[in-house]
Amino acid sequence: MWLGMGQADAIAILGGTGDQGLGLALRFAKAGRTVVIGSRKTERAVAAAEEVRAAVPGADVEGLGNEDATGRAEIVILSVPFEHTASTVKGIREVLGEGQILVSMAVPLATAIGDGAVRTLGIWQGSAAEMVQALAPKGVTVVSAFQNVSAHRLRELSNAVDCDVVVSGAKAARERVMALCGLIPGLRGVDGGPLSNARVVEDLTALLIGLNVRHKVPEGLGIRFSGLPDRD
């Protein structure tokens, strides 16, 4: 078990200044969890934390540099653009410790090389999440989640998000992340099995982006599995 310095129930979100990361920060803060926003530039993280406090009165949220934020929570969500994923993981390697859970939201959209968002790049390790696992220190468990949750829907705090989240990775860790999904109204964590299934989930984001464009849904579609037994 991780015995870090932060609150036991804190959630760190690296890249929490971006659209989707900030959306998660708002939702977790609203659910009463301690949130630590990380950014490459501390002042941007501080500003994002202020934004969360303005939207969610009484929010327990702090803004820090990525390294400091990583040391504060057992669960660390990586919400940086794909092209900064590898460098971000390399930058926090020294801070990451045994028992921490690193959540990859990365999607290798071809925008990283100047091509379109409706296509993905092939990743040597199989998926961005598996690349993150290859870069993470031993003892850190990588879980894949949240790729397909619309930032727009996350940030509309008065609405339920209406989306299933496929969570994949080692069993105990993915169950922790599935529980996080349950903190957000309209979000449901779905047991996605081993981390390698991130290959499908990441590609799905590119398909959803295309559907959003073709069907003119600026707020972004969600994905739902029908026929799933609810386990409340």
Where on the chain is the footprint of a second copy (CB under 8 A)?
118-119, 150, 153, 162-163, 166, 190-193, 196-197, 199-201, 203-204, 206-208, 210-211, 214-217, 219-229
Using only the alpha carbons of the chain, give its radius of gyration. Answer: 16
Residue 142: count other Cβ atoms within 10 Å of its Cβ. 25
Tokens describing residue 206: 């590119």
- Please, what is the minimum distance in Å from the beta carbon of residue 187 to a second copy? 11
For a second copy, the closer of residues 43 and 191 by Cβ is 191
- Residue reference for tokens 């991780």: 2
For a second copy, the closer of residues 66 and 133 by Cβ is 133
- Residue reference for tokens 């598996």: 130
The amino acid at 149: V
Q: Return the half-sphere exposure (C-beta side, CA atoms, 13 A cut-off) of residue 77.
A: 29
Please, are residues 39 and 16 in contact by the beta-carbon 8 Å criterion?
Answer: yes
Burial of 31 (0-12, 13-18, 19+ CB in 10 A): middle
- Please, what is the minimum distance in Å from the beta carbon of residue 4 to a second copy? 31
- Residue reference for tokens 């993915």: 174
Tokens describing residue 227: 């026929």
- Please, what is the minimum distance in Å from the beta carbon of residue 170 to a second copy? 14
For a second copy, the closer of residues 18 and 220 by Cβ is 220
Please, are residues 96 and 71 in contact by the beta-carbon 8 Å criterion?
Answer: no
- Please, what is the minimum distance in Å from the beta carbon of residue 190 to a second copy? 7
- Please, what is the minimum distance in Å from the beta carbon of residue 217 to a second copy? 6
For a second copy, the closer of residues 4 and 220 by Cβ is 220
For a second copy, the closer of residues 39 and 111 by Cβ is 111
DSSP state letter for 158: T
For a second copy, the closer of residues 51 and 164 by Cβ is 164
Burial of 113 (0-12, 13-18, 19+ CB in 10 A): exposed
- Please, what is the minimum distance in Å from the beta carbon of residue 113 to a second copy? 17
